[in-house]
Structure 1
Amino acid sequence: MLDLLNMVLHIDQTLGIWVAKYGAWVYLVLFLIVFAETGFVVMPFLPGDSLLFIAGAFGASGHIDPVLLAVLLVIAAVTGNTLNYIIGRAIGPKVFSTNLRFLDRDALMRTHAFYEKHGGKTIVMSRFIPLVRTFAPFVAGVAEMSVARFQLFNITGGLLWVVSLVAAGYFFGNIPMVKEHLNLIVLIGLGAAIAPLILAGIWKIIKKRPFPRRA
């Protein structure tokens, strides 16, 4: 069991072994990993971005059908987020309706208002941010974001996330320099995804901050 978990957590190094050993079953394995990472709020540690990139690289080498792979992983990403949303929607209201001191009902209302205003962008952009990707659909469910609105951005985000990373792996994953510095490239990509959110937050703080008037 520990060996299996180790292979999953280091999929970028072990995917070749999976392909050689299990053949077409690797599609199911990759589907389940993506589904679990996006579908269960307790599994944010599973690989996401690196898995898609490496799988795309194997698609370029002919070991995996990249089109079939992308279709299956889009389905996994969308259905995983949907399950996470359903869990949040089922659990959230019940938890916050209980009379417990440490539960802030005002915070839930503020979260609901935030998702009504910015929820679409959050669902799409969170796809490219580890950890946030796992929690965003759950919080959307807790905040009771409408099903139609959630699914619109869920499908959009899933398509952008899977297709862009699988395509990037397909075209660039087998370049020796990229292989050798994959972790650094993933970190740079993560920084590029987070930076706009940080800058937007700083800008909002600056705009809200009152400036002294000149005499």
Structure 2
Amino acid sequence: MKIKTKSKKVNKAWLHDHMTDPYVKLAQKEGYRARAAYKLKEIDEELKLLRPGQLVVDLGATPGAWSQYVRRKFAPKQAGVGGAAVGALDGTIIALDILDFEPIEGVTFIQGDFREDAVLAQLKEAVAGRPVDVVISDMAPNLSGIESADSARIAHLVELAVEFSQSHLQSEGALVCKVFHGSGYSQLVELFKKTFRVVKPIKPKASRDKSSETFLVGIGLKKA
């Protein structure tokens, strides 16, 4: 019984934090599906990564807040209102996730596990040989609570995103990748430094203080 009571208290505390969170309120007001949109917005405003006309690949896209943000960047100003802007779209967005994804006009969605070769082949087919301008990855594995196992799962997803970027990014392209501080973090920073000319770790204000998440941004591929 004590365990259940504690669980209820935790759930209640999380619900309270969630409902009073200013970014949750802002997302509801501005029509974003999740507060995560403001993490990408902050990174983009600092580094000026996203511009109309680009090809962007969104990994771990569900529920779609990052694709919504990119969609608005690509939409004509008069159409850029509401959750997912409607009308003309100056740019291409390809989103991928293992979970269901509520459609966003103009966004191509592939459902599947990025770790599987068949799914990666589908993504490559959608890219169709075009150079990708920006890869954004909010992918995270289901965490077990066992640090060594979780670190390995996180690292594997980041390594796959880096590999995809090496194969498909244009030379001045960028990768934005969610990572977590802790075991294995310094190795991921080193991987980014080996791969990209410019590497910036960013902890957006919209990322909760309690969370160990941060984002690594790599810009400009180093020549192999």
Instruction: Name whichever structure is richer in helix by fraction.
Output: 1
TM-score normalised to structure 1 length:
0.28
Higher-Rg structure is 1
TM-score when normalising by structure 2? 0.27
> RCO (CA 8 Å, sep 6+): is it higher in 1 or 2?
1
